Protein backbone atom coordinates (compact mmCIF):
# COMPACT_ATOMS: atom_id res chain seq x y z
CA UNK A 1 0.00 0.00 0.00
CA UNK A 2 1.36 3.44 -0.90
CA UNK A 3 1.77 6.10 1.76
CA UNK A 4 -1.07 8.14 0.20
CA UNK A 5 -3.44 5.14 0.15
CA UNK A 6 -2.54 4.39 3.74
CA UNK A 7 -3.21 7.95 4.89
CA UNK A 8 -6.54 7.89 3.03
CA UNK A 9 -7.46 4.65 4.75
CA UNK A 10 -6.55 6.16 8.14
CA UNK A 11 -8.68 9.22 7.37
CA UNK A 12 -11.66 6.90 6.81
CA UNK A 13 -11.62 5.68 10.42
CA UNK A 14 -14.88 6.93 11.86
CA UNK A 15 -15.96 5.05 14.97
CA UNK A 16 -15.13 6.48 18.39
CA UNK A 17 -12.75 4.36 20.40
CA UNK A 18 -10.88 4.89 23.66
CA UNK A 19 -7.24 3.79 23.65
CA UNK A 20 -5.47 3.28 26.96
CA UNK A 21 -1.89 2.20 27.64
CA UNK A 22 -1.48 0.50 31.03
CA UNK A 23 2.12 1.06 32.00
CA UNK A 24 4.57 1.52 34.88
CA UNK A 25 8.11 2.50 35.67
CA UNK A 26 8.88 -0.52 37.82
CA UNK A 27 8.01 -4.10 36.88
CA UNK A 28 5.67 -6.44 38.74
CA UNK A 29 3.33 -3.73 40.00
CA UNK A 30 0.16 -5.27 38.53
CA UNK A 31 -0.17 -3.83 34.99
CA UNK A 32 -1.19 -7.07 33.32
CA UNK A 33 -3.64 -7.92 36.10
CA UNK A 34 -5.20 -4.47 35.90
CA UNK A 35 -5.32 -4.44 32.07
CA UNK A 36 -7.05 -7.83 32.07
CA UNK A 37 -9.51 -6.80 34.79
CA UNK A 38 -10.41 -3.52 33.08
CA UNK A 39 -10.92 -5.28 29.74
CA UNK A 40 -12.97 -8.15 31.14
CA UNK A 41 -15.21 -6.04 33.38
CA UNK A 42 -15.82 -3.36 30.74
CA UNK A 43 -16.86 -6.12 28.33
CA UNK A 44 -19.23 -7.48 31.01
CA UNK A 45 -20.87 -4.05 30.98
CA UNK A 46 -21.56 -4.28 27.28
CA UNK A 47 -18.49 -2.49 25.92
CA UNK A 48 -16.43 -4.16 23.22
CA UNK A 49 -12.79 -4.34 24.18
CA UNK A 50 -9.55 -5.42 22.53
CA UNK A 51 -6.67 -6.05 24.92
CA UNK A 52 -3.31 -5.81 23.17
CA UNK A 53 -0.46 -7.60 24.87
CA UNK A 54 2.17 -4.94 24.34
CA UNK A 55 4.75 -6.46 26.65
CA UNK A 56 6.64 -7.35 23.49
CA UNK A 57 9.08 -10.16 23.91
CA UNK A 58 7.77 -11.19 27.34
CA UNK A 59 4.05 -11.26 26.66
CA UNK A 60 1.87 -13.13 29.13
CA UNK A 61 -1.75 -12.00 28.90
CA UNK A 62 -2.61 -15.24 27.09
CA UNK A 63 -0.95 -17.32 29.82
CA UNK A 64 -2.75 -15.44 32.59
CA UNK A 65 -6.08 -16.07 30.85
CA UNK A 66 -5.27 -19.68 29.93
CA UNK A 67 -5.70 -19.00 26.21
CA UNK A 68 -4.09 -21.21 23.64
CA UNK A 69 -2.80 -18.73 21.11
CA UNK A 70 -0.76 -20.13 18.24
CA UNK A 71 -0.34 -16.76 16.52
CA UNK A 72 0.61 -13.36 17.86
CA UNK A 73 1.67 -9.83 16.98
CA UNK A 74 4.86 -11.17 15.46
CA UNK A 75 2.89 -12.98 12.72
CA UNK A 76 1.12 -9.72 11.92
CA UNK A 77 4.41 -7.81 11.94
CA UNK A 78 5.92 -10.32 9.50
CA UNK A 79 2.86 -10.30 7.23
CA UNK A 80 2.21 -13.97 7.97
CA UNK A 81 -1.30 -13.58 9.39
CA UNK A 82 -4.12 -11.02 9.32
CA UNK A 83 -5.57 -9.56 12.51
CA UNK A 84 -8.64 -11.80 12.40
CA UNK A 85 -6.48 -14.93 12.52
CA UNK A 86 -4.51 -13.68 15.49
CA UNK A 87 -7.22 -12.16 17.71
CA UNK A 88 -8.48 -14.55 20.37
CA UNK A 89 -12.10 -14.09 21.38
CA UNK A 90 -12.15 -14.62 25.13
CA UNK A 91 -15.88 -13.98 25.60
CA UNK A 92 -18.59 -11.83 24.09
CA UNK A 93 -17.10 -8.38 23.53
CA UNK A 94 -13.58 -9.25 24.74
CA UNK A 95 -10.70 -10.02 22.36
CA UNK A 96 -7.01 -10.47 23.12
CA UNK A 97 -4.25 -9.68 20.67
CA UNK A 98 -1.43 -11.92 21.96
CA UNK A 99 2.03 -10.42 22.07
CA UNK A 100 4.54 -13.14 21.38
CA UNK A 101 7.03 -14.25 24.00
CA UNK A 102 10.74 -14.77 23.50
CA UNK A 103 10.77 -12.96 20.15
CA UNK A 104 13.47 -10.34 20.45
CA UNK A 105 12.81 -9.02 16.96
CA UNK A 106 9.61 -7.44 18.33
CA UNK A 107 11.74 -5.21 20.54
CA UNK A 108 13.40 -3.51 17.62
CA UNK A 109 10.67 -3.50 14.99
CA UNK A 110 11.56 -1.80 11.74
CA UNK A 111 9.17 0.54 9.94
CA UNK A 112 7.76 -2.26 7.75
CA UNK A 113 6.83 -4.38 10.74
CA UNK A 114 5.18 -1.48 12.52
CA UNK A 115 3.35 -0.53 9.33
CA UNK A 116 1.90 -4.02 8.93
CA UNK A 117 0.63 -3.97 12.51
CA UNK A 118 -0.79 -0.48 12.02
CA UNK A 119 -2.66 -1.52 8.87
CA UNK A 120 -4.19 -4.56 10.54
CA UNK A 121 -5.21 -2.55 13.62
CA UNK A 122 -7.38 -0.40 11.34
CA UNK A 123 -9.73 -3.40 11.18
CA UNK A 124 -10.72 -2.64 14.79
CA UNK A 125 -12.69 0.38 13.49
CA UNK A 126 -16.34 -0.24 14.35
CA UNK A 127 -15.47 -3.47 16.13
CA UNK A 128 -14.46 -2.17 19.56
CA UNK A 129 -15.15 0.69 21.99
CA UNK A 130 -11.90 0.31 23.94
CA UNK A 131 -8.37 -0.71 23.04
CA UNK A 132 -6.37 -1.48 26.18
CA UNK A 133 -2.62 -1.99 25.74
CA UNK A 134 -0.71 -3.80 28.48
CA UNK A 135 2.89 -2.63 28.18
CA UNK A 136 6.21 -3.73 29.62
CA UNK A 137 7.69 -1.78 32.52
CA UNK A 138 10.28 0.93 32.11
CA UNK A 139 11.23 3.53 29.53
CA UNK A 140 12.22 1.38 26.56
CA UNK A 141 11.16 2.37 23.05
CA UNK A 142 8.33 -0.11 22.78
CA UNK A 143 6.81 1.07 26.07
CA UNK A 144 7.02 4.70 24.97
CA UNK A 145 5.55 3.79 21.57
CA UNK A 146 2.39 2.37 23.13
CA UNK A 147 2.09 5.32 25.53
CA UNK A 148 2.49 7.88 22.76
CA UNK A 149 0.09 6.03 20.45
CA UNK A 150 -2.74 5.74 22.97
CA UNK A 151 -4.95 8.69 23.87
CA UNK A 152 -4.72 7.96 27.58
CA UNK A 153 -1.93 6.58 29.73
CA UNK A 154 -2.63 4.81 32.99
CA UNK A 155 0.43 4.56 35.21
CA UNK A 156 0.32 1.82 37.83
CA UNK A 157 2.25 2.41 41.05
CA UNK A 158 2.60 0.62 44.37
CA UNK A 159 3.56 2.10 47.74
CA UNK A 160 7.15 0.94 47.24
CA UNK A 161 9.51 3.93 46.97
CA UNK A 162 11.22 2.50 43.86
CA UNK A 163 7.86 2.11 42.11
CA UNK A 164 7.17 5.79 42.75
CA UNK A 165 10.57 7.05 41.63
CA UNK A 166 10.39 4.87 38.49
CA UNK A 167 6.85 6.11 37.75
CA UNK A 168 8.14 9.67 37.99
CA UNK A 169 11.03 8.83 35.62
CA UNK A 170 8.58 7.36 33.09
CA UNK A 171 6.23 10.36 33.29
CA UNK A 172 9.18 12.71 32.93
CA UNK A 173 10.45 10.87 29.81
CA UNK A 174 7.01 10.95 28.19
CA UNK A 175 6.70 14.67 28.92
CA UNK A 176 10.20 15.71 27.90
CA UNK A 177 10.48 13.53 24.79
CA UNK A 178 6.87 13.36 23.58
CA UNK A 179 5.14 16.28 25.34
CA UNK A 180 2.53 14.09 27.06
CA UNK A 181 1.00 16.17 29.82
CA UNK A 182 -1.80 14.11 31.37
CA UNK A 183 -1.63 10.77 33.10
CA UNK A 184 -4.00 8.63 35.10
CA UNK A 185 -2.59 6.92 38.15
CA UNK A 186 -3.79 3.79 39.92
CA UNK A 187 -2.13 2.79 43.19
CA UNK A 188 -2.05 -0.99 43.45
CA UNK A 189 -1.32 -3.40 46.32
CA UNK A 190 -2.19 -0.80 48.93
CA UNK A 191 -3.16 -1.44 52.55
CA UNK A 192 -5.82 0.63 54.32
CA UNK A 193 -5.89 4.26 53.20
CA UNK A 194 -2.38 4.13 51.76
CA UNK A 195 -3.67 4.77 48.21
CA UNK A 196 -4.33 8.45 48.81
CA UNK A 197 -0.89 9.12 50.30
CA UNK A 198 0.80 7.26 47.44
CA UNK A 199 -1.00 9.45 44.90
CA UNK A 200 -0.29 12.65 46.86
CA UNK A 201 3.40 11.83 47.05
CA UNK A 202 3.66 11.35 43.28
CA UNK A 203 1.54 14.45 42.69
CA UNK A 204 3.85 16.51 44.89
CA UNK A 205 7.00 15.33 43.09
CA UNK A 206 5.48 15.88 39.64
CA UNK A 207 4.13 19.29 40.73
CA UNK A 208 7.54 20.37 41.96
CA UNK A 209 9.74 19.25 39.07
CA UNK A 210 7.43 19.11 36.04
CA UNK A 211 4.53 21.43 36.94
CA UNK A 212 3.24 21.39 33.32
CA UNK A 213 2.19 17.77 33.88
CA UNK A 214 -1.12 16.85 35.47
CA UNK A 215 -1.72 13.48 37.08
CA UNK A 216 -5.23 12.29 37.89
CA UNK A 217 -6.11 9.86 40.63
CA UNK A 218 -8.15 6.91 39.33
CA UNK A 219 -8.20 5.31 42.77
CA UNK A 220 -6.46 2.39 44.36
CA UNK A 221 -6.63 -1.39 44.55
CA UNK A 222 -5.99 -3.24 47.78
CA UNK A 223 -3.45 -5.99 48.13
CA UNK A 224 -5.60 -9.10 48.02
CA UNK A 225 -5.14 -12.86 47.88
CA UNK A 226 -7.97 -13.01 45.29
CA UNK A 227 -5.65 -11.20 42.88
CA UNK A 228 -2.69 -13.46 43.58
CA UNK A 229 -4.75 -16.56 42.80
CA UNK A 230 -5.60 -15.31 39.30
CA UNK A 231 -2.15 -16.34 38.14
CA UNK A 232 -2.74 -19.84 39.48
CA UNK A 233 -6.18 -20.28 37.94
CA UNK A 234 -5.20 -19.14 34.45
CA UNK A 235 -8.78 -18.75 33.23
CA UNK A 236 -11.16 -15.97 32.34
CA UNK A 237 -13.56 -17.32 34.99
CA UNK A 238 -10.78 -16.67 37.52
CA UNK A 239 -11.02 -12.96 36.67
CA UNK A 240 -14.61 -12.90 37.96
CA UNK A 241 -13.28 -13.45 41.47
CA UNK A 242 -11.67 -10.02 41.27
CA UNK A 243 -14.99 -8.29 40.72
CA UNK A 244 -15.25 -6.98 44.28
CA UNK A 245 -11.69 -5.66 44.27
CA UNK A 246 -12.08 -3.93 40.91
CA UNK A 247 -15.66 -2.69 40.87
CA UNK A 248 -14.95 0.82 42.25
CA UNK A 249 -12.34 1.33 39.50
CA UNK A 250 -14.59 -0.09 36.77
CA UNK A 251 -17.55 2.02 38.00
CA UNK A 252 -15.39 5.12 37.75
CA UNK A 253 -14.18 4.25 34.25
CA UNK A 254 -17.51 3.10 32.84
CA UNK A 255 -19.85 5.62 34.48
CA UNK A 256 -17.58 8.63 34.31
CA UNK A 257 -16.50 8.34 30.68
CA UNK A 258 -13.02 8.72 32.09
CA UNK A 259 -11.00 7.85 29.03
CA UNK A 260 -11.12 9.98 25.88
CA UNK A 261 -13.42 8.21 23.43
CA UNK A 262 -13.22 9.96 20.10
CA UNK A 263 -13.04 9.18 16.43
CA UNK A 264 -9.33 10.03 16.58
CA UNK A 265 -8.58 7.11 18.89
CA UNK A 266 -7.77 4.48 16.32
CA UNK A 267 -6.11 6.90 13.87
CA UNK A 268 -3.78 8.08 16.59
CA UNK A 269 -2.93 4.51 17.54
CA UNK A 270 -2.13 3.65 13.95
CA UNK A 271 -0.22 6.88 13.28
CA UNK A 272 1.69 6.31 16.51
CA UNK A 273 2.93 2.97 15.21
CA UNK A 274 3.80 4.45 11.84
CA UNK A 275 5.57 7.55 13.04
CA UNK A 276 7.26 6.37 16.20
CA UNK A 277 10.92 7.27 16.21
CA UNK A 278 12.53 5.88 19.31
CA UNK A 279 16.19 5.71 20.09
CA UNK A 280 16.48 2.21 18.63
CA UNK A 281 13.44 2.07 16.31
CA UNK A 282 14.14 1.11 12.71
CA UNK A 283 14.27 3.76 10.06
CA UNK A 284 11.72 4.34 7.33
Ligand X SMILES: Nc1ncnc2c1ncn2[C@@H]1O[C@H](COP(=O)(O)OP(=O)(O)OP(=O)(O)O)[C@@H](O)[C@H]1O
Contact positions toward Mg ion, by CB under 5 A? 31-32
- 206 near ligand X (CB under 6 A): no
Residue 63 contacts residue 35 (beta carbons within 8 Å): no
- Which residue's CB is nearer to ligand X, number 32 or number 72? 32
- Compute the least distance from the CB of residue 190 to ligand X, in Å: 8
According to CB under 6 A, which residues from 128 to 147 bind ligand X? Answer: 137
Tell how strand 182-190 and strand 94-97 pair up: unpaired
- Compute the least distance from the CB of residue 134 to Mg ion, in Å: 6
- 29 near ligand X (CB under 6 A): yes
Selection from Mg ion, ligand X, none that 269 binds (CB < 5 to 8 A by kind) is none
- Which residue's CB is nearer to ligand X, number 154 or number 213? 154
- 248 near ligand X (CB under 6 A): no
Length of the chain: 284
Pick the piece of the chain touching ligand X (CB under 6 A) from 7-15, 86-94, 219-227, 246-254: 219-227
Q: What is the spatial distance between Cα 38 and Cα 152, in angstroms, rounded to a whole number?
A: 14
Please report, for the chain, how many H helices and E strands are present, in that order. 13, 9
Residue 121 contacts residue 76 (beta carbons within 8 Å): no
- Which residue's CB is nearer to ligand X, number 174 or number 227? 227
- 27 near ligand X (CB under 6 A): yes
Helices (H), 15-140: 31-44, 61-64, 73-77, 83-86, 111-121
Selection from ligand X, Mg ion, none that 50 binds (CB < 5 to 8 A by kind) is none
Q: What is the spatial distance between Cα 106 and Cα 56, in angstroms, rounded to a whole number?
A: 6
Task: Tell me how many residues contact ligand X (CB under 6 A).
Answer: 19
- Compute the least distance from the CB of residue 82 to Mg ion, in Å: 26
What string marks each residue from 185 to 204 as x (binds ligand X by CB under 6 A) or -?
---xx---------------
Q: What is the spatial distance between Cα 251 and Cα 255, in angstroms, rounded to a whole number?
A: 6
Residue 74 contacts residue 108 (beta carbons within 8 Å): no
Q: What is the spatial distance between Cα 151 and Cα 149, in angstroms, rounded to a whole number?
A: 7
Give the footprint of ligand X on this chain (CB under 6 A): 24, 27-33, 55, 137, 188-189, 221, 223-224, 227-228, 230-231
Amino acid sequence: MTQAALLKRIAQVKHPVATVAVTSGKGGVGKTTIAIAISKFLSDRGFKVCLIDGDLGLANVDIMLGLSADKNLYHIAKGEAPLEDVLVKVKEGFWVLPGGSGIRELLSMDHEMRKRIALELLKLDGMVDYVVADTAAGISDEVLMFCVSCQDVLVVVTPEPTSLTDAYALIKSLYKEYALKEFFVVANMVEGEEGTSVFRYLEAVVGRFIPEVKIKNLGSIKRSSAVTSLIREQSVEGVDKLKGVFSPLIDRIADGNIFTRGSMGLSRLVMGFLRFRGATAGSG
